[in-house]
A and B are shown apart, each in its own frame.
Chain A
């Protein structure tokens, strides 16, 4: 590979990491804030870099009736949280759990998962080329899983 091609490939990997949809969620977060009376609230922390995400869920029977998040951190951690809230809002718990398992499997690079099946969340697959940033993308989902576990759901 020529040096020029190599530079271009670096740029495209950065473009892959910071896809437009990710930056859009970072700048225009969805479901950011708090719920009036959440069923469960859980705080996730990435001690290595200090990223914080708090997930609030309102569970109605076997579905997520409402969801909110707040936190601070890099664009990947915060946009991933925003994208997650959109993906799970109104969804049955079973589907949410499957989605969470599929998403973390995708981020681990497991080939059994077709990223395209995850809709917008596929945009985060570019993070896999930046191993130290993968934990940023999975923070919100791990927090969600812990929230469900804590609520016995």
Chain B
């Protein structure tokens, strides 16, 4: 294996716990990842040593907290190769980042008769904000269809866009099927067409090396909690020119420059988009998570997931009545494996697996239209990260065999 998983596992206290008397096999990483000691310690260090509100304090704690918060932003910027930390807006999560774009950029730029282009594999978080915007503006929403192996049916990128396609948004990696989308190929075509391009990176940034400048997207959104960091902190990357022309999302303290009874002017980037006291502690904790991932190396993280996904696909392929979704080649997908087994419902599989200590997700994965496209009510989904082992895959397979036996009776 590329990563020293045995050493990595020692950093994650939760992996020592038992579930129903059995070792925890945590395979729900696409929902949220576990946290290493380094991140947990950083949160404690902040609250025990320099907890203070940021930016306007004239005291020592405030200065330390401000420096740590802004250092976390710089780490995020470097992690995705953003041209500058000004382009990194801290949000609550991916969902809030996408909503920010839909509300500010979207309201100012999408007009009646315009088109919003999405894919059939959208998470609800990259679907509902656009549907609402379209309804408000009288715009239409079009969806790129899928091939038999749940990749985007892109025959001829030049025909992808209509003249009035104002924005296209798509996931970097499908949370339901693991499909990696060719965002770097699509971005230049979008630019040529004058179409803004947003990448939902919730499943991208945690698992792939991401270079937003190389991709060439206008917006890239992701969440800390899926990449070893705390919940409640997420990121919107956007090109500086766009951020400068966009109106603020939320109004309040921090985002202003000068306030009069008659009106106000806005703060510089990125604070123009960060009204109110931000999630200081979790941003700093997120910085520690990024340090951890950088130590592992994102190329190595990616390689580890290819290795484990290849093994999972092979082992699950041993079941003659299994349906696997997504591209067959592990290099074309992230560490997400969705499946259905015989006539077992995913929830029933999930419940039996849970009693074996195996945590997976079962259901529609917040992609209801996609599930209808696939003709299923849901799937069982195992998703992997840096601390997962091949032995855990074997436990998953044993538990699936047990589930099948159990329901045969």
Contact = CB atoms under 8 A, between A and B. Distances in A.
A75 interface: yes
A66 B352 CA distance: 35
B352 A14 contact: yes
Contacts of B364: 49-50
| Chain B interface category by residue count | 20 to 34
Contacts of B348: 18, 74-76
A73 interface: yes
Nearest to A20: B409
A13 B377 contact: no
B345 A74 contact: yes
B263 interface: no
Contact of A7 (B21, B351, B352): B21
A99 interface: no
Nearest to A27: B343
Main secondary structure on A side of the interface with B: helix
A113 interface: no
A14 B66 CA distance: 52
B351 A50 contact: no
Contacts of A23: 407, 409
Interface string B361-385: 0111000100100000110000000
A3 interface: yes
Interface residues of A, number: 24
Nearest to A4: B21
B109 to A, nearest CB: 32
B261 interface: no
A136 interface: yes
A17 interface: yes
B37 interface: no
A72 interface: yes
Contacts of B368: 50
B378 A14 contact: no
A62 B107 CA distance: 54
Interface in A2-21: 3, 6-7, 10-11, 13-14, 17-18, 20
A74 B363 CA distance: 10
B232 to A, nearest CB: 21
A50 B378 contact: yes
A132 to B, nearest CB: 8
B359 to A, nearest CB: 12
14 contacts: A10-B20, A11-B355, A14-B352, A49-B362, A50-B363, A50-B368, A50-B378, A51-B347, A51-B377, A72-B377, A74-B345, A74-B348, A75-B348, A76-B348
The 6 closest A-B pairs by CB, nearest first: A74-B347, A6-B21, A74-B345, A50-B364, A72-B377, A49-B363
Interface of A: 3, 6-7, 10-11, 13-14, 17-18, 20, 23, 48-52, 72-76, 130, 133, 136
